[in-house]
């Protein structure tokens, strides 16, 4: 199996910079190789991981209202589409004119889309394998009118608030003004710490496997020699910063080497692998306004654990 990025220098530089920084980090986008995407699918089925289920409940409960608000026949651009299940749930009510799933996990996306084409032969689909965190520049074959940027699952929470603001602005620029475009976002909300902690440190250890698998992916991309059993999963809510943090913690003093570099870790030292920011409805409304989205509609589940948000410039 050939990894698309094995010769990719920007990727290696980014990984190397993260690993050699005083506070080591790996970007959460490196969770998503084929196995990582499958492990994320498993996370979504865990009893502790409420976001996927809660968001699906909102989609189902408000399907007609969502469709009436978004409008039919949009060019649906699905950011981080993964298995495309969230978009597919909306197809019957939204009837998109074109479906454009984008994901960094190339093979996983191809498989998902080929299954989807058989189920929905009337919807034109164009999958794009790319890292959209770097740029939202889309090929000219993607329709410009009536665009809907679909960013569900609270993935926007992976960005720090200032980066989320920038990303929202980038989406706004990708919409043609006056042509009825908009964004449909899934946003996870602040709640009791125990609920959040459990969602990111589940009893079965699936989230731990997902986190540690990033090291196997990095080994392939960078040629490094991480041994996964040297690393312990940490996942917890940090209430001061209103975010989940995931880290990998060294179980002993060790040195990781790769071609052109190395890094020594002391026992207990961590690699920061993910932030997942949790919002309040008011805090998120402010962010939308700052990003230039004047009109917003929000839908909630009965517990107000999660929010679906449609916004237009």
Give φ, ψ of 191 to 5 degrees: -155, -175
- Asked if residue 273 lies in contact with residue 28, where contact means CB atoms within 8 angstroms, the answer is yes
Q: How far is residue 132's CA from residue 142's CA, in Å, rounded to a whole number?
A: 15
Residue 11 C-beta: closest distance to ligand AVJ, Å: 19
Distance in Å, CB of 215 to ligand AVJ, minimum: 15
- Alpha-carbon distance of 192 to 187, in angstroms, equals 16
Nearer to ligand AVJ, 155 or 213 (CB): 155
CB of 300 to ligand AVJ, least distance (A): 18
Nearest to 291 by CA among 176, 205, 167: 167
User: Could you tell me the smallest distance in angstroms from the CB atom of residue 235 to ligand AVJ?
Assistant: 7
Q: Which is nearer to ligand AVJ, 33 or 274 (CB)?
A: 274
Q: 30 or 200, CB closer to ligand AVJ?
A: 200
CA triple 68-312-72, angle to 5 deg = 30
Closest approach of ligand AVJ to the CB of residue 49, in Å: 7
**DSSP letter at 176?**
P
Nearer to ligand AVJ, 75 or 154 (CB): 154
What's 82's DSSP letter? T
User: Who contacts 62 (Cβ-Cβ below 8 Å, separation ≥6)?
Assistant: 299, 308
β-strand pairing of 254-258 with 261-265: antiparallel
Phi, psi of 27 (to 5 degrees): -65, 140
Closer CB to ligand AVJ, 105 or 207, in the complex: 207
Query: In the complex, which residue's CB is closest to ligand AVJ?
Result: 276
Residue whose C-alpha is closest to residue 215's, from 33, 23, 5, 46: 33
> Within the chain, how many helices (H) and strands (E) appear?
10, 12
CB closer to ligand AVJ, 200 vs 279: 200
Nearest residue (CB) to ligand AVJ, 43 versus 198: 43
Query: CA 99 to CA 76: how far, in whole Å?
Result: 5
Number of Cα atoms under 13 Å in the Cβ half of residue 177? 5
**Residue nearer to ligand AVJ on the CB measure, 43 or 307:** 43
Distance of closest approach, residue 134 Cβ to ligand AVJ, in angstroms: 17
- Footprint of ligand AVJ on this chain (CB under 6 A)? 43, 51, 153-155, 157-158, 200, 207, 274, 276
CB of 209 to ligand AVJ, least distance (A): 11
Look up residue 61 and give its two tokens. 């409960």
Question: Cβ of residue 177: shortest distance to ligand AVJ, in angstroms?
Answer: 29
């Amino acid at each position: 199996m050939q990894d698309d990025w094995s010769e990719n220098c920007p990727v290696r530089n980014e990984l190397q910079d993260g690993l050699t920084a005083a506070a080591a980090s790996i970007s959460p986008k490196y969770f998503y190789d084929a196995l990582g995407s499958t492990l994320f699918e498993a996370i979504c089925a865990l009893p502790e991981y409420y976001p996927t289920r809660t968001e699906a409940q909102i989609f189902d409960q408000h399907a007609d209202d969502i469709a009436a608000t978004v409008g039919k026949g949009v060019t649906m651009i699905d950011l981080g589409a993964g298995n495309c299940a969230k978009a597919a749930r909306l197809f019957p009510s939204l009837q998109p004119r074109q479906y454009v799933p984008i994901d960094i996990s190339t093979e996983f996306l191809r498989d998902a889309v080929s299954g989807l084409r058989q189920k929905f032969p009337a919807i034109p689909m164009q999958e794009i394998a790319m890292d959209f965190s770097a740029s939202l520049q889309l090929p000219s074959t993607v329709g410009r009118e009536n665009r809907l940027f679909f960013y569900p699952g609270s993935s926007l929470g992976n960005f720090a608030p200032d980066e989320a603001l920038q990303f929202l602005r980038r989406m706004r620029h990708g919409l043609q003004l006056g042509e009825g475009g908009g964004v449909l976002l899934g946003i996870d909300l602040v709640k009791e710490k125990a609920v959040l902690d459990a969602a990111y440190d589940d009893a079965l250890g699936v989230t731990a496997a997902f986190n540690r698998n990033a090291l196997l992916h990095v080994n392939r991309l960078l040629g490094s020699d991480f041994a996964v059993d040297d690393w312990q999963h940490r996942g917890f809510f940090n209430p001061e910063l209103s975010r989940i943090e995931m880290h990998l913690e060294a179980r002993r003093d060790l040195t990781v080497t790769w071609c052109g570099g190395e890094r020594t870790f002391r026992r207990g030292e961590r690699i920061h692998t993910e932030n997942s920011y949790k919002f309040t409805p008011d805090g998120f409304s402010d962010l939308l306004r700052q990003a230039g989205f004047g009109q917003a509609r929000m839908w909630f589940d009965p517990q107000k654990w999660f929010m679906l948000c449609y916004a237009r410039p």
